[in-house]
Structure formats: structure tokens, C-alpha cells
Structure 1
């Protein structure tokens, strides 16, 4: 069975997108996802994105499923949402495991309504109750983070120099700490001239050039601490995103998305 795909990226965070709307669902076992995502023997990507018909009872136009390169399914991906907006080509609402989001394509990217952030300890979730702003926990030099759920869970550390943190080493330690029963995305951010410089260790994907939900969560945490104004520019290794949020409202993320190429593959080649 030949399966068509589109390869896209948002600021270097790359995706293989399978459009299965109005078609039979595909069996997406973790091993098959890992094989497709493999950069040496597969197509290669940070995330595999599968578009399907909206589930019964949903008011969304269609469904987006997100699989990290380790094979695990996750709730949200802001960069992928912008890519899907460009691929779809017109405003729409999309059902995700993290909630319904709104997409609005633009000439070089898209604006995405990511919904309202959640701050409750059980909404992150954490293993036990605590205030999720300036949490009384730390790992080596990383201390007093904020936790924000923006469809998927993030912990944010504000530091003097985000580039100086050995995130490739400490990121997986924090990701898998028992405090986070569903694991966690780890963000280190520094404030520079009213803007944010950010690096992210993504749960199940590792270090990536950009993380849209990480940018959203970090901007919200910085705005709650009154460190920056809204909208704020968030600089990631792959480029910049603009994030707007007001207390009690939803998050609006604006940024680029690019199609790299299209192709097909034999489904059984990645069994």
C-alpha cells in the first residue's frame, strides 16, 4: 500500500504529515512511528502528524494526531499546527488530544489559537499538590520553575543565559522525574530586552530547533511574572515566534511554516 506524505517544518522543527481524512485509519504502532521518523533509515522527522476525520460529536473540522519520534502519542504541537494550517489552506478548527484549536493560514505561516493555558497542579499534572508558579523544586542550578499546560505539559526555568545550560544532559533527567507522572517538556529561558530567548528539551523528541507549545508556555509564564509585555517575541534556535496572551484569555501564536517536499512510501517497509 503506497502512502502519500508531506514533509514540512516550522522553524526547523520537522514533520511527516499523513492526510488520512475520508480514509480508513492506519495502525500506528510505536515501532512503525519510530521507523518512519528515523533519520537514517526512514523519512526522518521530529513528529509524525496524522490528519483524520473529526470524532463523532466533535464540532471541529478534522482531527490531528501527533506522535513523537520515540513512537509515543502526545497531545499538542504548535509548530505542527501552523504547518497543518498552511496545508489545509483556509481557517478551520482542529480536534487534538489537548483540546480544540483554531488555525488561520497566512502567506508564509499561520496564526493558531492554542486555547487557554492551565495551571492547576493536577492539570499539568504533578505527582502531588503544589503552587505551579515558582515551584519549590530544583535540579542542580535550575530552580523555582513555573509549570503550564498548553495542551501538553511544560516546566519553565528562567535563567541568566539559556545558552549556557547543558539541556541535553539535564533535560531528560527532569523529563522523567517522578514529580511528572506523564513526563514533561523542559524549557530554559532568558529575558533579553523585553523578548525571550528559549531552548526546549521536548518530551519524547529531545532537543529540537523550535517548540511552539514551549514558546506558548514560556511566554505565559513570563507574562504571569510580568517579565515581558504581550505580544512577546520568543527566539528559538530555529527562528522567532510571536505569542500573545492576556489573563483569562486564550493564547495566540503566530509564525512561519514551510513545505519541504512530498512523496510516497510503502506502508509495509516500516512495519
Structure 2
């Protein structure tokens, strides 16, 4: 079966987006991993499928949202949140509907999005969660200060932005070999579901810099939920204000942790190319 796809990115954090609303695509984790392979497939940081909204109960209409977005890591595992993918999908829905406000549903909840006057897309990523069992962690502890150290990093803060994040604060990101630390920390026993690992440098209270080792994906040019977790954890530590510019290797996002608890994330999106792929050429 041949299906169309769209290759999109937010600050270089790239996605293959396929539309499963007309009919089920039946993509297995193995096939998704094959399609996501950068050498033998299309290649992406996350593989995104758009799906129809399910009714809450028999005979009921779906709740207010425009699409269900399912997120897979390049190893085929499913992810709960992806901020840059949310903004990319929102931009597609805005073009499709002619509206400047849409809502993207994920397994972690509904994410309202809007187009700003400068053309960027802003997503409301919802409320961070701080309970040790909400991140989740392997045992009860203060999520603002985890008893975790490896090499030159220690004492991270953790939260969930629909997926687990731990943020280490460092003096000089350029001097840190975070790519060597990331895979070990992602799979640390403290994180039963693995975790996204952020390494953040505070340049000013409203200016942060971060590199993120993404769970199931490794180093990426940008991670939207990781940028949100960075701001949230920095503010919890008294290191940052509630509004800040967060620089990632691929560019900058504008973030705000509002007093109502929700985190807003704004930045550019782009379509790199479109095409069609023959599924039978990839592992079932």
C-alpha cells in the first residue's frame, strides 16, 4: 500500500506526518521504526499519525478537539507528548480549516494551539506534574532535587510534561559531554519508563540554553516538551522567571509558565517536503 506523507520540522526537530483519518494504516512499531530510519527509511525524530477522534461513549460525539495525534519515537515506542510536533500538526489543521485556533488531542490530553501575528504557532502544553509517581520515578522522593549524579552532573529536577523529564543545571554547556551522559541517564533505574534528559545553562533569568537527550530518539536539534520542562524546573529552583527564551541547538522557543499552571510554547514550523511511500518495502 502506498501512502502520502509530509516531512515537517520545528527548529530542526523533524517529523514524518501521515494521515490515518480516512482509513486505518495499521502501522506496527517495527514498520514505524523502519520508516523512521535515517539511512534506510524516510528518517525522523518522531513519527506522527493523525487519527480520527473517538467518541467518549457509545452514541456520543467526540469531545471538542480537531484531531488525535499519535506520537512514536524512532525506535517504534509510543510517546506521550511532543511540543514541536503539536505545533506542526496545528499548522496543518489551520491550513486545512482556515482557522487560527485548533486543538490537538494526544494520549496526555488536549492541547489548544493558535497562530500568532508573526506567523509562529503557540501551543498550550498543559500543566506540568510533579508527583514522584506522576513523572514517574521508581520511589517516593522530592522531584525538585533528585539524588542522582553521573560524571560532572548531579541534583536534577524532574517533572512530567505528558512525558518524563529530568533537568540538570550546569555552569557551561559547551564543556559538558552530554551526549555521553544522556543514554546512561535515560535508562537509569530511577526512571521506570525511561526519561528525557535535559542539560541546561542559565544565561539570565529570562534566557536559558538547553541540550536534550530525548527518550527513544537520542540527541535532537530541539525538544518542545523538554524546553517546557527546562523553564518549569528552573523556575522551581529560583533560577528563572516565568517567561523566558529557551535556546536549543536548532533555534529558540518563547515560553511562559502561566499563573494558571499551563505552559505556553511558541516558535516556527516548516514543511521540508512531501512524498509517497510504499509500505510493503518496509518491515511489517
The alignment's TM-score, normalised by the length of structure 1, stands at 0.96
Gaps of 5+ in 1: none
CA offsets 1:37-80 (integer angstroms, 9 cap, x no match) = 11121111111100101122152221000011111111000010
8 Å CA contact 2:71, 2:82 repeated in 1: yes
How far residue 165 of structure 1 moved from its aligned partner, in angstroms, is 1.8
Shift of 1:105: 2.9
1:208-265 deviation line (CA, Å, top 9, x unaligned)? 0000000000001111222122310000000000110134420000011111111111
Could you say if the C-alpha distance between residues 108 and 44 of structure 1 is closer, same or farther in structure 2, counting changes exceeding 3 Å? farther
Q: 1:99-178 residue pairs with structure 2 within 5 A?
A: 99-106=109-116, 108-178=119-189
* Aligned mates of 1:193, 1:124 — CA distance in 2: 27
> Which residue of the partner structure matches residue 11 of structure 1?
11
* CA distance in structure 1 between the aligned counterparts of 2:112 and 2:4, rounded to whole angstroms: 25
Please state how far the C-alpha of 1:17 moved relative to its aligned partner: 0.3
Instruction: Show CA shifts across 1:129-179 (max 9, x none).
Output: 000002222222211110010111100001101222212111111111111
CA distance in 2, matches of 1:165, 1:70: 26
Partner of 1:98: 108
What residue is the counterpart of 2:67 in the other structure? Answer: 62
Q: Distance in 2 between matches of 1:124 and 1:35?
A: 29
Partner of 1:48: 47
Q: Which moved more, 1:212-221 or 1:248-257?
A: 248-257
The alignment of Structure 1 onto Structure 2 pairs a total of residues equal to 270
Deviation at 1:108, TM superposition (A): 3.7
The equivalent residue for 1:245 is: 257
SS at match of 1:48: strand
**1:29-40 matches, cutoff 5 A:** 29-40=28-39
For 2:180 and 2:119, how far apart are their aligned partners in 1?
35
- Contact 2:90–2:103 under 8 Å retained in 1: no
**What's the counterpart of residue 275 of structure 2?**
263
* 1:34 aligned counterpart, secondary structure: helix
**Match of 1:264, SS?**
strand
Paired with 2:115 and 2:279, the residues of 1 have a C-alpha distance of 30
Aligned equivalents of 2:217 and 2:148: distance in 1? 24
Q: Pick the aligned partner of 1:88 from 82, 86, 93.
A: 93
Counterpart pick for 2:216 among 197, 200, 204: 204
Distance 1:7 1:108 in 2: 19
Contact 1:108/1:257 (CA < 8 Å) preserved in 2? no
Q: Name the SS for the 1:115 alignment partner.
A: coil
Aligned CA-pair RMSD? 1.3
Pair 1:78-2:88 in alignment: no
